[in-house]
Copies of this chain bind each other. A is one copy, B any other.
């Protein structure tokens, strides 16, 4: 036993020592800024309902990832100062969970569930719409060129460009392979602009279209047979993967999920992949992507540039989609022409961009419902950006 006097000295020394372990002893301004970023995302998710399924996990993940702690620099297995707290420390919970992101496992699983949710009917009913989903990928490669001009490495530029695909899992997947350090910034940028689609797209759409074009009425889609719906995921997977095998993890899972749904004999499997499985993966991907966003890597010029490039890519993508419809109309005979106001929907950002088409369309003709027609390019845009992702991986991986 220590003597009483010594004891109190020892006690206060140790309590003091404990304070060094607290976040207060390891706090920096960077932590504060990141925590505010996390809180803002949570606020937007709840109060404005901006992508709550993603921004709440990401926002809370940012909070978790920016709790300051002692020994953050000790990241190796068995390192004496490694307390297994931070996402970069071997043996920590967040570190284990993040392997789903860094190994590229979570995004394809989300695509599996997504495939089981998507209805490709309008696309099958009017296959021309598929091409709009190709045209809108101009945003990806336009942003790629812009990113090169900003001085990013080619692989990084590709990962940044994919923001223009308006598809979270695709962006995270490509970034995990080509630019692991930028995953956080790319994911946040992608989700931000997806949420801002109703703000970004309308001016571009109005600028590029004439009044006459905006009033074009499109033929209602025909009813699609069950056989066609079953053939679509099978043929879709074979054709797109044959052209771009590197897109297989995303395209394969997307179409597999869709086959589980459309076959109708595997309904319970489709229900599980679009239910518990996608929920669990969504939570873990959001939380860990958020936690990976640290002040040192996130509060950089690169992040600002990525946000600028994200805006560029969305603008170019919208431009590409709308202009492509106008060009196609030159070759289509009267009665088959398409309303260019559905061109923006090729970006995907489902289902917001299709709703933008509907809203702008109604502004000019109260009885011209474009929603259903815009759903076609909308789902085509998902395929299109997964193909584009495959192209980028082929070149730069």
In the complex, what distance in Å separates the CA atom of A96 from the CA atom of B63? 30
Q: Determine whether the beta carbon of A93 is less than 8 Å from that of B105.
A: yes
In the complex, what distance in Å separates the CA atom of A283 from the CA atom of B270? 10
Number of copies: 3
In the complex, what distance in Å separates the CA atom of A249 from the CA atom of B248? 33
Interface size on A, residues (CB 8 A): 75
A331 at the interface (CB under 8 A from B): no
Q: Determine whether the beta carbon of B84 is less than 8 Å from that of A104.
A: yes
A8 at the interface (CB under 8 A from B): no
Interfacial residues of chain A within 218-241, with CB under 8 A of chain B in the complex: 230, 234, 237-238, 241
A393 at the interface (CB under 8 A from B): yes
- A216 CB contacts on chain B under 8 angstroms: none
Determine, out of A48-56, A142-150, A304-312, A360-368, the stretch whose residues face the partner at the interface.
Answer: A48-56
Dominant secondary structure at the A interface: helix
Closest B residue to A39 using CB positions = B234
Q: Determine whether the beta carbon of A279 is less than 8 Å from that of B283.
A: no
Question: A21-B246, A248-B85 in contact; A56/B273 too (CB < 8 A)?
Answer: no
In the complex, what distance in Å separates the CA atom of A11 from the CA atom of B30? 45
- A275 CB contacts on chain B under 8 angstroms: 272, 276
Question: A242-B24, A245-B68, A272-B279 in contact; A46/B230 too (CB < 8 A)?
Answer: yes
A22 at the interface (CB under 8 A from B): yes
Q: Determine whether the beta carbon of B245 is less than 8 Å from that of A23.
A: yes
A268 at the interface (CB under 8 A from B): yes
In the complex, what distance in Å separates the CA atom of A306 from the CA atom of B105? 34
A357 at the interface (CB under 8 A from B): no
Question: A108-B93, A259-B56, A394-B18 in contact; A46/B245 too (CB < 8 A)?
Answer: no
Contact of A272 among B84, B249, B276 (CB under 8 A): B276
In the complex, what distance in Å separates the CA atom of A340 from the CA atom of B63? 37
Quote the shortest CB–CB distance from A213 to chain B (angstroms): 33
Q: Determine whether the beta carbon of A45 is less than 8 Å from that of B269.
A: no
Q: Determine whether the beta carbon of B256 is less than 8 Å from that of A52.
A: no
Question: A70-B245, A272-B276 in contact; A265/B56 too (CB < 8 A)?
Answer: yes
Q: Determine whether the beta carbon of B265 is less than 8 Å from that of A269.
A: no
Q: Determine whether the beta carbon of B241 is less than 8 Å from that of A45.
A: no
Quote the shortest CB–CB distance from A346 to chain B (angstroms): 23
In the complex, what distance in Å separates the CA atom of A374 from the CA atom of B355? 49
Q: Determine whether the beta carbon of B248 is less than 8 Å from that of A64.
A: yes
In the complex, what distance in Å separates the CA atom of A91 from the CA atom of B104? 8
Contact of A280 among B45, B52, B277 (CB under 8 A): B277
- A237 CB contacts on chain B under 8 angstroms: 60, 63-64
Quote the shortest CB–CB distance from A394 to chain B (angstroms): 5
Q: How does the 8 Å CB contact mask read for A259-291 relative to B, with 1 for contact and 0 for none?
A: 110011110110111011101101100010000
Could you show 16 A-B contacts with beta carbons less than 8 Å apart?
Answer: A22-B242, A22-B243, A24-B242, A42-B263, A45-B263, A57-B256, A60-B237, A67-B241, A69-B245, A83-B394, A85-B248, A85-B249, A91-B104, A269-B282, A272-B275, A272-B283
Nearest 5 A/B pairs, CB to CB: A69-B245, A272-B279, A52-B265, A23-B242, A93-B249
